Chain A
Amino acid sequence: MGASSASVSGAAATGGQSGVEHAPGDSQWPLWEVFVQPPGGAPHEHAGSVHAVDAEAALQNARDVYARRGEAVSLWVVPSQVITASTPEDMGPFFDPGNDKPYRHPQFYKVPRGVRVY
């Protein structure tokens, strides 16, 4: 269910809520990224994340959270910290749309009308 940010209340307002005790070693567990492959031959797509202590649990959690409506034939789970991501600064050299490299695009090549290329 959603929430309008304007109609929220919190525990502090109830008065006298002390801090939460933290047991040593307590955490919400490491983060894993989940990739889901739908039926029909499409590639795996990032679906979101889950928390888990190991790969087996991550896989189970991913299935329960992201695939319980039967929308997946395959799941990948990856610890978030091992993913290497580009930064926006990388975007220039890596992701330059290559307007100066038209030979990478099929429209560049002229083919006689009526000839099937493939």
Chain B
Amino acid sequence: MEQQTVSVQEDPARVAAFEARIAAGETIEPKDWMPERYRKQLTRMMSQHAHSEIVGMLPEGNWLTRAPSLRRKMSLLAKVQDEAGHGLYIYCGTETLGVSRDELIDQLLTGKAKYSSIFNYPTLSWADIGCVGWFVDGAAIVNQTMLAKASYGPYARAMVRICKEENFHKRQGYEIMATLASGTPEQRAMAQDAVNRWWWPSLMMFGPSDKDSPNSAELTKWGVKRKGNDELRQRFVNLTVAQAQAIDLTLPDPDLKYNEATGNWDFGPIDWDEFQRVLKGDGPCNRERIAARRAAHEEGAWVRVAASAYAAKRAGETASEAA
């Protein structure tokens, strides 16, 4: 994470007072004074989150036209729609920090901004839809409960709204997997194959170990990160092992073992080389995801322009009527 020098010299007393507000659990609102660095960190974090919601629509949207029952078809469509909504809530929250959605989208499409790496993996079967809901939304929920208490008001409020809607997402994915796991042999095999491919990338969603995570300290100080990566990852593992056992699917980790002393499930080593590789752009779908978003954006330009032109004409008419 690059260390940026603050161009404007900020009064240390003001910064200290600001940090005291956060330490006291106060909420920072858009019109409040904030250090430039806080504004930049929040903008980066929130916009990345929003981008992730939008890009996340693609791997799941991939199976919308092939959902194998009407109920699943509607459920998946509602879920992907929710993700668009979540992205929208967070983009709007980010705009309160003084950046336009136009700029934010530019940043995503030109590579200046990032999105969660998990969405660079492909959905290869219907079971992947269940697995993504179970693992990826499951991991997100572990993160989200923390973010609902973030120090920045608009972010926290967006997260509260998102948490309410997530309940149905997590249940939907797990229910799909449970149905497959107790179905035909082909369905069972489909489910297990999806688990085998999505487990490790899902663990990587929590980021590197805290000792290798340079951002963490500052984000904790700013009240947007209240628990460490390792703690959150462990919580996710503990929850998910029980869920996998309940539906008789095997997590692809021969080292998974219950630790009596800690009450945690110890797990095997994560392939951080793969993590870095996907981060740098060599995941299976990095190019396709951005290409899809660029295509939608570019092909949609004439539509956006038309709407603006229409509104301008109507405004012009009203003005001349009033004159």
Contacts and interface: CB of A to CB of B under 8 A. Distances in A.
Interface of A: 1-15, 17-21, 23-29, 31, 47-51, 53-54, 57, 65, 69, 85-88
B237 to A, nearest CB: 15
Contact of B207 (A6, A9, A21): A6
A12 B112 contact: yes
B301 A26 contact: yes
B215 A5 contact: yes
Contacts of A8: 48, 52, 114-117, 279
B interface: dominant SS = helix
A65 B207 contact: no
Nearest to A13: B281
B168 to A, nearest CB: 10
Interface residues of B, number: 82
A88 B207 contact: no
Contacts of A31: 92, 95
Interface stretch (B81-89, B177-185, B244-252, B254-262): B81-89
B114 A9 contact: yes
A7 B207 contact: yes
Interface of A is mostly: loop
Given A19-B110, A27-B102, A65-B85, A7 B204 contact: yes
A27 B232 CA distance: 39
A20 B31 CA distance: 31
B8 interface: no
Contact of B278 (A9, A27, A47, A50): A9
A21 B298 contact: yes
B49 interface: yes
Contacts of A85: 31
A8 B275 CA distance: 10
Interface string B287-300: 10010001001100
Contacts of B304: 26-29
B115 A3 contact: yes
